[in-house]
A and B are shown apart, each in its own frame.
Chain A
Amino acid sequence: MMTKIFIEQQQKKLANGVIDRRHFMMSVLATGLAVPTVLSLADKAEAAAPNRGGLFRMGIAHGSTTDTLDSATSENHFTLINGYTFGNHLTEVSNTGELIPELAESYESSDAQRWVFNLRQGVEFHNGKTMTSEDVIASLAHHMGEDSTSAAKGLLTAVKSVTADGKNRVIFDLESANADFPYIVSDYHISIRPAGDMASGIGTGGYILQSFEPGVKTVLQRNPNYWKDGRAHFDEVELISIIDPTARQTALMNGDIDAMDRVDLKTINLFKRNPNVNILEITGTAHYTFPMRLNVDPFGDYDLRMALKHSIKRQELVDKILLGYGAVGNDHPISTANRYHNSDLPQREFDADKAAHHYKKSGHSGKIQLSASDAAFAGAVDAAQLIANSASEAGIEIEVVREPNDGYWSNVWNNDAKGWCACYWGGRPTEDWMFSAAYTNDTEWNDTAWKGTDSSKKFNSLVKEARAELSDTKRRELYYECQSLISDDGGSIVPLFNSFVSANSKAISTDKQIAANWDSDGAKCVERWWFA
């Protein structure tokens, strides 16, 4: 009898993460049970259903008084997390990184150009209306057409038409084949809302909006009719915008919130010592870049670009800017978390001789300006100074220009007035999406103005070919070459892939694996986490 109670206790401890599996095995084996029995006990405990209930308070590093509930202009991590609490999408990127159907039950295509989505039946919006193809079409139309002000407009330009086939089926016709199209509709902007009401926060999600104060907080209550199984465990949720990192960390240490995003890496080693704090770290597709614009002198010169690419101490940047929470990049935007990361490409290292050699060949002399602001990413100004410092070892003089945070994205980044600046890319779940967002010649966000060179022409045709290609091995080959083309000839210096580092109180439990596509478990922590 005593042993039974003891085993139950140990099981609970294991489920809550108080002890690890090994510890559990040792202690339970000591009661005289056989190994296979104990193993199954451990599995059972670990697979224990998450607990329901509790008030989950989260501090989020963003939030502005201009925020809205309209997903079309969702622009920061607050609106992102907020949007995922009350809204669903046709597809979603799961916590293990695969694309799974969400409001669509299934999707198929024979030629990658005509996509058929079968909708889940009987899903109700929070206002009691049943979701049908009409709502899906209206939700997509919200991001399309000339007068749309949606940030997802660029993503859907390739969609020729969206039509209904009955109440529960929607057909997308694309301009050209795209094997990755189902990923596109998982984008956080493309939330499915009831037709005619895209902005009042009524969705099909696990939580029902109680109140929303822009730039301050959101209060939500669990949706009793949530259609999804095994998700949305908290009874109540409060999302609080706490922009100052020190205030956010203090709130977590004092127990005023249960979780927070964006840990300040400067103080992380001290922060970790707090007994109440648990750090979650995952490396995803997000990366820091320093795009050089080929149409601005002197960056049109291949040798000059090469010289700069060789004058960067990538590991130092990872160590000092990310304090080790990240990985070095190889001057292309595809991370190890992507499907077709080119692992054969040799890692580019700091090499003063090569840098000096290329620099001399380029014939350039004088200072090169590098614009940076912490609006690009936390530590951008510091990173720029480190680059200036290492480049000086190769005899290249770089002048760091600190730009105002305000208006950085419209005045500095992707702007011909500045040839070289710091930039951040959230990363995209697929290679095609990443390339067509920032590197192909038809995108406005081609922040390196990498067009016209031979390599770039070749790159563009390769990307098109790969987009329509359904064979896995063939795509891998094509994408490998794309990465090497960007890495050599492209204008972007990609020195770092940053990890998402968030923190929560020890009372919070998560799935074994958390998603790598956004901070805080793919920004879906509210739906995925629970109180142990």
Chain B
Amino acid sequence: MGVATLFAVSIIIFSSMELLPGDFGQAILGQAATEDTVAAFRRELGLDQPAIVRYGQWLTAVLQGDLGTSFSGRNASGVDRSREVVDLVAPRLRNTLFLASMAALFAIPLSLVLGISTALYRNSVYDRSISMTTLTAISFPEFFVAYILILFLSSLSSVFPSLANVDADTQFGERVYRVALPALTLTLVIVAHMMRMTRAAIINLLASPYIQMARLSGASPTEVILKHALPNAWAPIATVIAFNLAYLVVGVVVVEVVFVYPGIGQLMVDAVARRDIPVVQGCALIFAMTYILLNLIADIIGIVTNPRLLYPK
């Protein structure tokens, strides 16, 4: 099933890249493009062949495990400088996953704790103020949250660096220190969503007869929520967490730009802007796989926690 999704994604991405006006040569040459030079680029990159042929070639290569080479760097006369898509994507994917896990490490426990506790003390001042804070935090665009954090934690007091430009040699400790601000930004951005959905899912269950029953049998409010409501709320919570984890991997291009973090989002945006189709396809496949994997996990959690779904009638 996942393979079919990947296949469909690759077709959609390929055709939208074809629909985008302009090609690699025009994008690289920009204002300096002449018909002659663009034509030379097309010949060199094989862009003069029909789209369907190019897609076929790409697909055959991918099925043999070859993601191909980027359009950039091929046109070198003399020494071969072509860039494997894998080599471009791998280090950046590592960076992205590192940042995503840092952010998730803070954000998921935090939002679960906040979500459950606000459901427990619903409508109290505590609930209201947590709601207000997290809602305000997500109302601000990511780059703006980032700027505010930089202002307070980097410019006014130099707690963390404002540039998160790590490279392959950066040590683990240094890496953690450098990505602190982007990770914090992402945490602020996703906590509200996860926390509120957790709260909603739990409150939604509290009126169920079995919860009433548990309550009548003398369980404390904490017990009711942790032992009775939470296990049944896992399906929607897992879905929301999967959304946000996928977002942490695929959607952080703005944060990458602000903190100069070499992640995979920036790679894909650059590749789209330059019409570097092999790289776009490579990134899209990775994003799609991440998404499929996370949702598979969310679905499994949903099914495991609701035995009735195991046996559809």
Contact = CB atoms under 8 A, between A and B. Distances in A.
Interface of A: 64-70, 72-73, 75, 142, 146-151, 153-154, 195-200, 213-217, 240-244, 246-247, 250-251, 253-254, 256-257, 406-407, 409-411, 413, 423-424, 444-445
B37 A154 contact: yes
Given A66-B72, A213-B262, A250 B162 contact: yes
Contact of A197 (B78, B260, B266): B78
Contacts of B258: 244, 246-247
B50 interface: no
Nearest to A146: B40
A254 B262 CA distance: 20
A66 B71 contact: yes
Contacts of B143: 244
A241 B71 contact: no
B262 A216 contact: yes
A354 B293 CA distance: 67
Task: Point out which of A66, A69, A407 has the most chain B C-beta atoms below 10 A from its C-beta.
Answer: A66
Contacts of B267: 65, 215
B122 interface: no
Contact of B27 (A197, A214, A410, A445): A410
A243 B257 contact: yes
A148 B72 contact: no
B34 A213 contact: no
Nearest to B72: A66
Interface string B130-147: 000000000000010001
Contact of B276 (A66, A73, A153): A66
A200 B40 contact: no
Nearest to B259: A247
Task: Point out which of B22, B35, B71 has the most chain A C-beta atoms below 10 A from its C-beta.
Answer: B22
Given A215-B266, A409-B30, 12 more contacts: A149-B25, A151-B33, A151-B37, A196-B78, A196-B79, A213-B167, A247-B163, A256-B162, A256-B163, A409-B26, A410-B21, A410-B33
Contact of A65 (B77, B88, B163, B257): B88
Contacts, number: 161
Interface string B145-167: 00100100011001001110101
- List the 5 shortest-distance A-B pairs measured between CB atoms, nearest first: A199-B76, A66-B72, A410-B22, A410-B26, A151-B32
A203 B85 CA distance: 27
B161 A199 contact: no
B174 interface: no
Interface residues of B, number: 56
Contacts of B79: 196-197, 199-200
5 contacts: A70-B81, A72-B75, A241-B260, A244-B143, A411-B21
Nearest to B158: A254
B273 A64 contact: yes
Task: Point out which of A67, A68, A72, A217 has the most chain B C-beta atoms below 10 A from its C-beta.
Answer: A68
Contacts of A409: 26, 30-31, 33
A150 B37 contact: yes
A151 B30 CA distance: 9
Given A213-B167, A411-B22, A247 B30 contact: no
B28 A73 contact: yes
Interface string B192-223: 00000000000000000000000000000000
Task: Point out which of B20, B75, B88, B161 has the most chain A C-beta atoms below 10 A from its C-beta.
Answer: B75
A149 B73 contact: no
Contacts of B150: 247, 250
Nearest to B71: A66
B135 to A, nearest CB: 25
Contacts of B266: 65, 215
Given A149-B37, A254-B158, A406-B20, A215 B270 contact: yes
Interface string B97-108: 000000000000
A411 B70 CA distance: 23
A510 B40 CA distance: 41
Task: Point out which of B27, B32, B78, B270 has the most chain A C-beta atoms below 10 A from its C-beta.
Answer: B32
Given A247-B258, A251-B162, A406-B20, A199 B43 contact: no
Task: Point out which of A69, A410, A423, A424 has the most chain B C-beta atoms below 10 A from its C-beta.
Answer: A410
Given A66-B28, A151-B37, A411-B22, A256 B271 contact: no
A200 to B, nearest CB: 6
Contacts of A149: 25, 37, 40-41, 44, 75
Contacts of B260: 216, 240-244, 247
Nearest to A142: B77
A368 to B, nearest CB: 23
A64 B88 CA distance: 12
B21 A75 contact: no
B297 interface: no
Task: Point out which of A65, A198, A444 has the most chain B C-beta atoms below 10 A from its C-beta.
Answer: A65
Contacts of A195: 78
B272 interface: yes
Contacts of A64: 270, 273-274
A66 B271 contact: yes
Contacts of B279: 65-66
B184 to A, nearest CB: 16
Nearest to A148: B40
A346 B68 CA distance: 59
A149 B262 CA distance: 28
Given A251-B162, A410-B21, A199 B77 contact: yes
B198 to A, nearest CB: 33
Contacts of B300: none
B29 interface: yes
B182 to A, nearest CB: 11
B162 to A, nearest CB: 5
B262 A200 contact: no
